[in-house]
Structure 1
Amino acid sequence: MPVTDTTIDTENLTMTLVAEFAAPVSRVWQAFTTPEQLNRFFGPPTWPATFTEFDLRPGGKAQYHMTGPKGETSAGAWEFIEVTEGQSFTVLDMFTDDTGNPQTELPQMRVTYAFEPNGKGTRFTNVTHFESHEALEQIVAMGGVEGSKLAFNQLDAVLQDLREFAEGKGTTLELLSETYARITRLINGPRHLVWRAYTEPELQRRWALGPDGWEMTVCEIDLTVGGKQRTEWAPVGDTEGEGFGFEGENLLIEPESRLVSTERMIGTEGPTNVNDLHLFEEDGATLVTLVVEYESEEVRDTILATGMVDGMEQSYARLERVMGGF
């Protein structure tokens, strides 16, 4: 992952994050100064950012909000203090309310984003300056360090073309933390068809089957916030195994872009996972990103050990084969 070091200096009241990117400074600078690209990585995986204003000049401002898996939002703003084109910028970073006014009960921070060539690509240094020990401790307690690492570690997918980044890699798994896992797969097809494949029962029955020898006997989807989902599978012919299924409800729906839902095995009291599905299209291909929150590390490891990722790869490969008939 790109982030190589994080340091908290309680004497000088700073938090420093260093990352290395295999791309030229001009490309990384573009990613950090283009709202559409910031939206793809600025914010932890389950709290993506949306920049609604971006005026890159001293005295200019940027406004953004992050949206959590249940639709909750957290808003912020940057006031640009210094800008050295192509090299660095410094902002006053603040939490705001929904109307853009600073929340005075939360810290304001001076943050520098610096970019320099390192011979292989770009060395990125992010330094946050705090006004007090209390402010530093508050941001650390809010998950500021881990959240920044998770956010910047997503940048590789932005710096490369989607096909260059993911084509031919199949379904990949990343363990983000003790309770979070990220699964990605490039689908050779447009986003609107992938969205339909996930949200229309008659289409999901055609591809979301895992290994050969299984059929989906039940697929019920109420595509509303709070709406229920239920899917069940059964073996076919000589396939060994017992039928099983999952149920849950939708927490957040952003059509053709994001779908967050709970999931638990039918007939049990838990555990309940939260599945956060993101779709991004470029050049006729769609990057499917599924971030799963598990109740514990033990639950995560137990579920992944079932061969879930291999089964998903077989389903995604099937989706590419049948998508032309949608």
Structure 2
Amino acid sequence: MRAFVLTGPGEYTVQEVPAPVAAPGEAVIDVERVGVCGTDVELFTGDMAYLQQGLSAYPMRLGHEWSGRVTAVGDGVDPAWAGRRVMGDTMLGCGTCRRCRKGHQHVCEQRQELGVRGNRPGALAEQLAVPVTSLHALPESVDPVLGALVEPGGNALRAARATEALPGDRVLVLGPGTIGLLVAMFLRSAGAEVHLMGRTEDSLGFARHLGFERVWTEDSLPGLPYDAVVDASNAVHLPGLALDLVEPAGRVVYVGLAGAASRIDTRTLALKDVTGVGVLSASPGLDVTIAAYAEGVVDPRPLVAATVGLGEVGAVLAGERPTTAGPGPKIHVDPRLG
């Protein structure tokens, strides 16, 4: 089969590699869609911390936001999985440690992360093998595009829910990228008054196109009381700004990651009686996100600007936008294309 292989920082090739075989407890998937995300870019550039920590290494096969159809199952797997449309959890815990036993496999110390960590090949290939325990079935109303948006959507849904915003509460989302816009969509569906802060007119204009009227730059942000603030950015200074902007007794949710250490003043956290929440991984929110997409609570498909083949992935990771791309922030890959 064909697969996109990252061989070093900025170095890649599309290779013919052996097709996966379902080991006991695994399923083989025909991949239909894969999302390219910021983690993939960091692995492409060599800036990803896992590379320095020895948790990831080249060569690697990227891709952790995916959907497809089960074509084969290994020993010990219910044969009813065959033919089902699915997406899968990125975080693959060891299954035996204390965290896994408590249902927190997404923070397992020994976890593999599909296409990211622990030498588990990712989905930027025509086929993929994964543990069947990581699979989540997709209803017919969740098409391949939506299926590949479940993983980022799960992160966003968890962040939106962590604000504990009630209808009419005012919530500020920092960073109108894929995750930030998904957070905003889930908050809007819950009745919150959503504000978005970004840097470029293109990103803010796209947010307006999605129906968000209260969009600002840092310089134009109005001095309003915010019941919760979600930092979905990669800016080093914004975690501190989020804490400064939130109302006393409010909530700050951190789902974005900067390239360097961010600092907050815990005196402010305590003196304002603010609750701070960190969100890593979509794992606990995948089923709820699938249901939200199936029911039309949110429709994130406008976020996808273009769908390309494996041969165009390297250019996308290097920062090039396809010539036919729309204004959205997300690029999808269909491995069946040239």
Q: What is the TM-score of this pair, normalised by structure 2? A: 0.28
Q: Which has the higher contact order (CA 8 A, sep 6+)?
A: 2
Specify the structure having the higher radius of gyration (Cα). 1
Q: What is the TM-score of this pair, normalised by structure 1? A: 0.29
More helix by share: 2
